[in-house]
């Protein structure tokens, strides 16, 4: 069905397949980042997200160096974005 829609939008099949592959990688990375499976429920995704945020949050880990704090903030931002994409509220 998506292939037909892409054709109607004048998107050739090579470009369309490349777009689908990129999207599949992003979706897989989101599940991997949150340590959940594709079959996970919304509640399981939310619980995994909350546990990771508590584990990584710089305010809860006062022994972090500046570099570790920056890395934790980047990881938290990636977690937030993954969570937003996976949870449909």
Read off the pLDDT of residues 62-83 as tens digits, 9 standing for 90 and up.
888 888 888 888 888 889 988 9
Residue 56 binned pLDDT confidence (cut-offs 50, 70, 90): confident
More confident: 20 or 25:
20
State the alpha helices, DSSP H only, in the chain.
2-8, 13-33, 42-56, 66-86
For the chain, what are the domain ranges? 2-86
Q: Assign domain 2-86 to a CATH class.
A: mainly alpha
d(CA 42, CA 50): 12
Residue 89 binned pLDDT confidence (cut-offs 50, 70, 90): very low
Quick one: residue 64, left, alpha or beta (phi over 0 = left, psi -120 to 50 = alpha)?
beta
* Residue 25 reports pLDDT greater than 70: no
Per the CB < 8 A criterion, the answer to whether 40 and 87 are in contact is no
Token readout for 73 is 């903030």
pTM: 0.65
């Amino acid at each position: 069905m998506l292939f037909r829609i892409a054709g109607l939008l004048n998107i050739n099949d090579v470009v369309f397949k490349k777009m689908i592959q990129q999207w599949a990688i992003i979706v897989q990375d989101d599940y991997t980042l949150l340590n959940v499976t594709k079959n996970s429920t919304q509640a399981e995704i939310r619980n995994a997200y909350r546990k990771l945020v508590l584990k990584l949050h710089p305010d809860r880990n006062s022994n972090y160096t500046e570099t570790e704090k920056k890395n934790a903030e980047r990881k938290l931002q990636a977690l937030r974005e993954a969570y937003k994409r996976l949870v449909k509220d």
